[in-house]
């Protein structure tokens, strides 16, 4: 088995359905297995997988919510692939992403020109549901000083600006929504630290790889849509887990004086008690829906229909664009979205019975039934 793709799911049935569709398209030329580990979802996730993807996806149904780290580790223990990809269920992958990652994993020296590279983890450029670049795709090690600056609004040293958004290069920290590696690297690093229930585990694993002498790489020319937040309600529990993970990371790796530790703890407590408000979207209100499809037989009642080529030549202010995934390539869709981040987008499932999308990377997306 060449590649194992592990998708840890929790109550994301609609997003998971489209994620799996994109993964199956992207692995049609690869000997791959897809493992969905479900953390005791109470929605229709397991029923959907059994109905839509029977025989094409392996399922691990956990009897409780083990969190991100343990849930993934349990699934990876069953993985048979030489290579491994940890993938979020609220993602859509381009058709060539896995092939490019495999090619790079076999010949990483083609980027750096080194005779040998001790390759650790590989990440890609992540964009949100509006096409906007997500800077957490590549980050520096969040030392206490860097993290304090970020929490106070100075993000300059947190994100990895030395490698351009669209380039390939060595970085420190990747994001857990998409982490590709040789399975031996994952095992050598001990997998995700299960003291992290959710958040911070990707930083920890990236840093562990660096400490073991591995080098992590970012492939900026490969895109993955990460809708974000579909498995998480942004409540006080979320904030406690998010900032608590930062405290765990510092305690584990950075020696601090009692005064420094107290200052960090107080800052974390303040961030939990007084969270930043979520800004409303500054995108134009939707006045028209446009179906974009390359299938001349597919139409929706009372909805304007354009081909992708027609869309490229039009101004779409006030338009919500509905992508027909059954007839369009995700790579082409993501290219358009990255160049037109001011619009709103929805993705029609392959069965054309519902669509999903998100206009903000800070809140849950939308699922709309079409039939």
Along the 371 residues of the chain, how does pLDDT read in single tens digits?
999 999 999 999 999 999 999 999 999 999 999 999 999 999 999 999 999 999 999 999 999 999 999 999 999 999 999 999 999 999 999 999 999 999 999 987 767 776 668 999 999 999 999 999 999 999 999 876 676 656 556 577 889 999 999 999 999 999 999 999 999 999 999 999 998 887 789 999 999 999 999 999 999 999 999 997 554 555 455 555 565 666 677 677 776 556 656 665 665 565 555 555 555 455 567 889 999 999 999 999 999 999 999 999 888 788 999 999 999 999 999 999 999 999 999 999 999 999 999 998 777 789 999 97
Domain limits, the chain: 3-226, 236-273, 288-369
Q: What is the pTM of this model?
A: 0.89
Angle at 262 between CA 260 and CA 264, to 5 degrees: 70
Strand 32-38 to 91-93 pairing: unpaired
Six token digits for residue 232? 């998480």
Q: Using an 8 Å Cβ cutoff, are 345 and 127 in contact?
A: no
How far apart are alpha carbons 176 and 186 in whole angstroms? 13
**Closest CA relative to residue 103, chosen from 86, 118, 122, 87:** 122
CATH superfamily of 3-226: Spore Coat Polysaccharide Biosynthesis Protein SpsA; Chain A (3.90.550.10)
Q: Which residues pair with 181 in a beta bridge?
A: 84, 121
Name the helix (H) or strand (E) containing 25.
Answer: helix 13-26
Contact 24, 56 (CB under 8 A): yes
Pull the structure tokens for residue 68.
């991100």
């Amino acid at each position: 088995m060449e590649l194992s793709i592990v998708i840890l799911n929790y109550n994301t049935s609609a997003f998971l359905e489209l994620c799996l569709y994109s993964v199956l398209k992207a692995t049609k030329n690869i000997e791959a297995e897809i493992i969905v580990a479900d953390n005791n979802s109470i929605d229709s996730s397991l029923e959907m997988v059994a109905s839509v993807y029977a025989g094409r996806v392996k399922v691990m149904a956990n009897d409780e919510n083990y969190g991100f780290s343990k849930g993934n580790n349990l699934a990876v223990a069953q993985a048979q692939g030489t290579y491994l990809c940890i993938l979020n269920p609220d993602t859509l992958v381009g058709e060539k992403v896995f092939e490019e990652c495999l090619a790079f994993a076999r010949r990483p020296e083609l980027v750096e020109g080194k005779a040998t590279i001790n390759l650790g983890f590989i990440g890609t450029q992540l964009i949100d549901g509006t096409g906007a670049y997500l800077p957490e795709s590549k980050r520096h090690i969040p030392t206490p000083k860097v993290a304090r600056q970020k929490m106070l609004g100075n993000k300059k040293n947190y994100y990895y600006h030395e490698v351009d958004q669209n380039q390939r290069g060595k970085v420190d920290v990747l994001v857990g929504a998409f982490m590709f590696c040789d399975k031996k690297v994952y095992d050598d690093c001990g997998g995700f630290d299960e003291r992290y229930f959710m958040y911070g585990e990707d930083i920890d694993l990236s840093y562990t790889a660096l400490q073991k002498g591995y080098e992590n790489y970012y492939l900026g020319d490969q895109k993955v849509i990460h809708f974000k937040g579909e498995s998480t309600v942004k409540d006080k529990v979320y904030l406690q887990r998010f900032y608590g993970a930062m405290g765990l990371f510092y305690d584990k790796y950075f020696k601090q004086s009692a005064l420094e530790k107290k200052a960090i703890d107080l800052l974390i407590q303040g961030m939990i008690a007084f969270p930043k408000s979520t800004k409303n979207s500054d995108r134009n209100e939707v006045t028209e829906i446009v179906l974009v499809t390359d299938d001349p037989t597919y139409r929706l009642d009372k909805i304007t229909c354009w081909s992708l080529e027609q869309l490229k030549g039009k101004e779409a202010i006030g338009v919500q664009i509905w992508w027909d995934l059954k007839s369009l390539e995700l790579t082409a869709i993501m290219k358009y979205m990255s160049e037109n981040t001011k619009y709103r987008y929805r993705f029609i499932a392959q069965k054309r019975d519902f669509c999903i999308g998100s206009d903000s990377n800070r809140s849950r997306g939308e699922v709309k039934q079409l039939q």
